[in-house]
Structure 1
C-alpha cells in the first residue's frame, strides 16, 4: 500500500489543529507550492467543516481575511504560495498586529535542501513578516508527535492567535492577540495520490463530527468586577473636570462608565460607544476652546488615533491621564505610556471622579453637552442648506459635501441595519463631527490600527462574509482606487453584500486640512503640494467598478 505523502500529512496536521482551535474561514490564493494545503482545505469544505474564499490577489485575500477576523473574533487562515505572494500579505498583517486580529498566515515554502540554491520562487521567508506577527513557526514534515521539536513554536503561534498562555493552555496570556506566521515547507509530490485522497476524505468527515460548529471561547484577561460596579450605587468621593475618551473599539463599556459618573464622552465613530446622552458631538472643536483648557483629567478606552486635538490632550502632561486595559492591548507595548494603565473599572472611577463644575460654575457635563449640541446644530444647518440648494462656500466650509455624505451614510445604516465601514480619509473625520449622540447607532468598523487607506473594500467584503449582513463603506476616491482589486470576486465564490459611497474630490483632499493645505496656497509650494500630496487623477470610478461584473458590490460616486 502506498504510504501517505509527507506534504499532504503536514497540511492535514496543521489544518486539523487550527480548526480545533476555532478557525472556520480560510482565504486561499492560487499557487502550486501551497497545493497540499489547498487540497486539504477542499476536503474540509466538502465536509462542511470550514468555508473557503478564493482571491487571486494575495493582498486582497489578506485584507478580506482581516475583515472576517475582526468581525468574528475567531482565527482566520490565509494560504499563499511561496515568494512574493507572502510579501503581499504584509500590509494586512501590519493592520492585524495593531488591531489585535487573529490572522494566521500559512505560507508555503521550498524544503530546506532547496534554500539558497536559486530554486524558482524561493527566498528566505522566515523574517518576511518581521515584527508584525505575534509568533512565527517554521514547519517541515510536521507530525505533531510529542517528540517533534517544532511543537513549541507551533503551540506559541496557536496561543498568540487565541489569547492563551502557551505554558498553561487554560489560562489567558499576558500578551496581545494578533497575527501569526506559519511558514510550511512542502517537498514534492505536492498533489494527493489515491491513498492520500482516501485519508483526506476520512479525516475531514471525522473532523466534522469531532468539533463544534462554533469557535471555542478564548480566555482573556477581563475585569470581572466591572458589571457589578456598573450595577452598584458606588460612586467616587472626589469630583474632577474629567473627560472620557473612547477610541477605536472602546465599546459600550466606555459609554456606561461615562454615563454613570456624569462625565462628557468624546467618542470616535468606530468606538461603538456613541449612543449616549453624555456623548458630545463635535468634541474636537470644543477641545480647542475654553472648555478644553479646563480639563483636569482624561481617561481612555480603546485605541485613539483619529483626532489631533485628542492626541494633543493625551500628550498634555498638565492633564492627569489613565487608560483602561483589562486585557493586553495590541496598540502599545507595556511600559511605553507615561500614564497609568488600570485593569479595574472601579480603580478607573476613583481616578476619574464625578463631574465637577466649570470656571463659570456650570455643571461640567452639562457645559460640554450644551456646547456640542450647539456646534452640531450649526453643522447640520449647513448640511440642510447644502442639500436644499446644492451649493456651499468652498472657501469657508470646504467639508460641507463630506458632512452631508457622512451623515447620509450614518442615517442609511440606521434605516437598513447595515454595518458601517469607514475609510481612513477625510470622511471619517467629517462623520466624527456630524454623527449624532443618539440612543441608536450603527455598528462601525474602521482600520484604525495603522489607519492606512489600503484594503478598505476587501476588509468590508470580509466583514460582510463573516456577519452575513450588508456593509456600507464610506470612503474617498483614492481609498477606492487603492483597492480596486478587491472588486475581482470569481463566479464560484460567495459574494458579499457591500455598498460603497465614494466622495470623489479628484485626489487626496485630506491634505488640504493638514499643514500642507496652507503651503499649497503659496506660490513656492503650490505645485509641489498639488502633484505629490493631492495626487489628482482622471479615473472614471463608475466605469472601473462596472468592469468587474457581478460581485455583490455596488458603487455610488458623489462629486462635490
Structure 2
C-alpha cells in the first residue's frame, strides 16, 4: 500500500471512530487519496458522502448539514423531555414524566461531525466564507485540505500555497500533517482536531498534538471549524490489490460538547430580578434556548427578540420602535442571550447599559450545574407542570407584552406539580417587570418594510404552521439575511409562532451560500417531505448563491425544501437605511438598488427545480402544500 493511501485511510477511519457522519467532497486530484478512502467507507455504509463541484457551495452545504444535525439533536431532546407532542419544541405540549424536563438530564446529545474535503490551492480559500460563518455560529466543521508536500513550498509549484494551513482565519485549531506521517501521531492529531471542532472538555490540549500548528483567533471553549491540512506526495491512487477496502471500525470514541455554566450566569440571574431589566435574545446558533425560555417565564421579564431566536414568540412587538421611543429610557439593564446582530437599536442598548449574559449553549450544560446556580440564587422550588409548558402558545396568542406578562404570572401562580431544577420567582418580581413593561402598551410598532414583504412572510409562516399542525410537529423556517428577517420581525405576537421555529445564519449574517446551507439543513434537520424546510430569501441573496441549486446528477433527489424568493428587483433593504436619503438619490439606483429585471424561471428549470411564480393570494396554498421547489413571489 502506498503512503498516500495509508495516510488517507488512517485519517478517514479515525474520524469515523470519533463520530464523523457526513463528508462533502469537492473533486480534485491532490485530495484523491482521501476521496477514495471515504468512497470505500460510504460503500460499506459507514459514512454519508456528498459531492459538490464548487468549493464555496460545498462548504456552505456542509455548514447546513451541521446546522440540521444540531437542530435535530435539540428536537430529540424535547421529545425525551416532553413526549411526542413536543417534538422539535412545540409550544404548549404536555411534559412527559421525565423529571427535570429540559432543565433536568435531557440535554441534547452532541450530533455527528461534518467534514468538507478539497484539493490544494485556491480551492481551500473558497471555503473561507462558510468557515467564518461556522466560527461565529459556533458550528463544528472539519476542513480537510489536501496539500503539496513541504519540498514544493516556496518553489513556485503549481497549485501550491506556501502556508496553506494558515489560509483560513478564525479556525479553532489548525494542523499540518506531513507527507509521511507517523501513524500514532496522525491518529492523535485527528482526535485533537475533532475535540477542538466539537468543543469537548480538554480540547485545549489539542494545541500540543503532534501536527498542530496553532490555535485560531476564537479559542477552544466553543465548537467551531478546524482545518486539518494533509500533505500528499507520490502516488495519489490506491493500488488494485488494495481495493475494495472494508475495515473493522472497532470501538467508537465519540466526543461530546458538554460546557460548564459560565460564572457570569449568576450575574444574569441577579439582574433579571431588577426592575427595568429586559431580556435581549438573538439567534440561538441552533443550540436551543429552553432554559432561557424558562427564565423569561419565571421572571416575567420583557423580551426583545430577533425572529431567529426561540424566544421570538415572547417578544415585544416592534421592539426596535420601542427602543426608538423616549419610554425606552426606563430600561436600566440588559440580559442578553444568543447572537444579537439584526437591529441597530439593540446594539445601542448593549453599548449604553449594564449587561449580563446567558450563554448561548446553556441547554447543553450539565443539569446539576444549572440547578446549583438556581439554588444559589434562591430560585428552586415548586413550579407548574403542564401549565408551565403552555406558556409559549398562550403568550404568543396575545397581542402585547403586557397581556403576555399577565398570562405568565397567572400560570406561574399555580403549583400543579414539581419539575426539579426549574426556576421559581416571587410574584413581586414578576409584578415589577409587568409594571415596567406596561408603559410600552401604547407604543405602536413602526414597520420599516413594505407591506407586501410582510404579508408574504406572514402567509408562508401561517401555511407552515397549519402544515405542521396536521403532522403533529413544528415547522422549520430558514430566514435569509437582509430583508427576510426584517419582514419576519413584524410577526411578533402572531399565534402561528406556536407551531414554527425560525432560524438563520446570523454568525456573520452574510447573504452568501444561503441556498446551499438550506439544502444541507433539509437533509439532516427535523423536516420531512410532508413538512419541509422553508427558505425565505430575497432575490439578490438568491442570485448570489445560484450554484447552491446544483445537485448531484442522477443520484440525488430534491431535498425536503421549499425556496421562496421574494423578488423586489434589487437591494431594497438599502432604501430603509441612510442610503435612501434624498440627497443621495442619484447614486442609489446603480450602486445600491442594483436592479436586475430578471425572474427565476429559467434558472430554476436549468438546475432541475420545479418552479412556480406565486401571486400573493395563492401563496398560502402553495406554502401549505409542502411540495419541494422554487416559488417566486414578485413584490414589485
* TM-score (normalizing by structure 1): 0.80
Cα offset, 1:55, TM superposition: 0.7
Match of 2:354 among 312, 320, 325: 320
Contact 1:324/1:348 (CA < 8 Å) preserved in 2?
no
Contact 1:241/1:356 (CA < 8 Å) preserved in 2?
no
Q: Secondary structure at the match of 1:310?
A: helix
Cα offset, 1:273, TM superposition: 1.8
Q: Secondary structure at the match of 2:23?
A: strand
Q: Which residue of 2 aligns with 1:298?
A: 334
Q: Which residue of 2 aligns with 1:286?
A: 322
- Can you list the C-alpha shifts for 1:293-348, whole angstroms capped at 9, x where unaligned? 210111011110011111111111xx32111227699xxxxxxxxxxxxx956789
Cα offset, 1:75, TM superposition: 2.0
Contact 1:235/1:349 (CA < 8 Å) preserved in 2?
no
Cα offset, 1:546, TM superposition: 1.3
Cα offset, 1:124, TM superposition: 2.4
Q: Which residue of 2 aligns with 1:456?
A: 514
Cα offset, 1:503, TM superposition: 1.4
Matches within 5 A, 1:306-345: 306-316=342-352, 319-325=353-359, 344=373
- Can you list the C-alpha shifts for 1:257-315, whole angstroms capped at 9, x where unaligned? 11100111112111112234xx3222111121133121011101111001111111111
Does residue 506 of structure 1 match 2:572?
Answer: no
- Identify which range, 252-261 or 507-516, moves more after superposition: 252-261
In the superposition, relative to structure 1, how do residues 38 and 174 fare at CA in structure 2: closer, same or farther (>3 Å)?
Answer: closer
Match of 1:197 among 229, 238, 243: 243
CA distance in 1, matches of 2:231, 2:143: 13
Matches within 5 A, 1:419-458: 419-436=476-493, 438=495, 440-458=498-516
Q: Which residue of 2 aligns with 1:56?
A: 53
- Can you list the C-alpha shifts for 1:480-535, whole angstroms capped at 9, x where unaligned? 000000111122235412111111111111111111011xx32xx32322211111
Does residue 96 of structure 1 match 2:138?
Answer: no
Cα offset, 1:29, TM superposition: 0.9
Match of 1:8 among 5, 15, 28: 5
In the superposition, relative to structure 1, how do residues 44 and 38 fare at CA in structure 2: closer, same or farther (>3 Å)?
Answer: same
Q: Secondary structure at the match of 1:485?
A: helix
Does residue 517 of structure 1 match 2:580?
Answer: yes
Does residue 558 of structure 1 match 2:633?
Answer: yes
Q: Which residue of 2 aligns with 1:259?
A: 297
Cα offset, 1:217, TM superposition: 3.5
Q: Which residue of 1 aligns with 2:408?
A: none
In the superposition, relative to structure 1, how do residues 473 and 47 fare at CA in structure 2: closer, same or farther (>3 Å)?
Answer: same
Match of 1:106 among 144, 148, 157: 144
Q: Secondary structure at the match of 1:24?
A: strand
CA distance in 2, matches of 1:103, 1:96: 7
In the superposition, relative to structure 1, how do residues 323 and 222 fare at CA in structure 2: closer, same or farther (>3 Å)?
Answer: closer
CA distance in 1, matches of 2:321, 2:540: 27
In the superposition, relative to structure 1, how do residues 326 and 480 fare at CA in structure 2: closer, same or farther (>3 Å)?
Answer: closer
In the superposition, relative to structure 1, how do residues 326 and 462 fare at CA in structure 2: closer, same or farther (>3 Å)?
Answer: closer
Contact 2:14/2:191 (CA < 8 Å) preserved in 1?
no
In structure 1, runs of 5+ residues without a counterpart are 227-233, 330-342, 380-396
Q: Secondary structure at the match of 1:105?
A: strand
In the superposition, relative to structure 1, how do residues 349 and 263 fare at CA in structure 2: closer, same or farther (>3 Å)?
Answer: farther
Cα offset, 1:15, TM superposition: 1.5
Contact 1:244/1:254 (CA < 8 Å) preserved in 2?
no
Q: Secondary structure at the match of 1:243?
A: strand
Matches within 5 A, 1:118-137: 118-137=156-175
CA distance in 2, matches of 1:256, 1:266: 15
CA distance in 1, matches of 2:272, 2:148: 65
Does residue 414 of structure 1 match 2:465?
Answer: yes
- Can you list the C-alpha shifts for 1:13-64, whole angstroms capped at 9, x where unaligned? 1112222221101101111111111111111111111111111111111001
Cα offset, 1:451, TM superposition: 0.5
Q: Which residue of 2 aligns with 1:492?
A: 555
In the superposition, relative to structure 1, how do residues 65 and 355 fare at CA in structure 2: closer, same or farther (>3 Å)?
Answer: same
Matches within 5 A, 1:118-267: 118-141=156-179, 145-146=183-184, 148=185, 154-164=190-200, 165-166=202-203, 175-198=221-244, 200-201=245-246, 203=247, 206-207=248-249, 210-211=251-252, 217-222=256-261, 239-249=274-284, 251-267=289-305
Q: Which residue of 2 aligns with 1:76?
A: 114
Contact 2:134/2:140 (CA < 8 Å) preserved in 1?
yes
CA distance in 2, matches of 1:289, 1:196: 71
Match of 1:533 among 573, 576, 592: 592
In the superposition, relative to structure 1, how do residues 453 and 348 fare at CA in structure 2: closer, same or farther (>3 Å)?
Answer: farther
Q: Secondary structure at the match of 1:26?
A: strand
Contact 1:129/1:181 (CA < 8 Å) preserved in 2?
no
Aligned length: 493
CA distance in 2, matches of 1:111, 1:236: 56
Q: Give RMSD over aligned pairs.
A: 3.2
Q: Which residue of 2 aligns with 1:336?
A: none
CA distance in 2, matches of 1:409, 1:132: 36
Q: Secondary structure at the match of 1:401?
A: helix
Q: Which residue of 2 aligns with 1:479?
A: 541
Q: Secondary structure at the match of 2:295?
A: helix
Cα offset, 1:355, TM superposition: 4.7
In the superposition, relative to structure 1, how do residues 517 and 499 fare at CA in structure 2: closer, same or farther (>3 Å)?
Answer: same
CA distance in 2, matches of 1:530, 1:348: 56
- Identify which range, 481-490 or 9-18, moves more after superposition: 9-18
Contact 1:275/1:441 (CA < 8 Å) preserved in 2?
no
CA distance in 2, matches of 1:246, 1:437: 18
CA distance in 2, matches of 1:23, 1:133: 18
- Can you list the C-alpha shifts for 1:244-266, whole angstroms capped at 9, x where unaligned? 11110062322221110011111
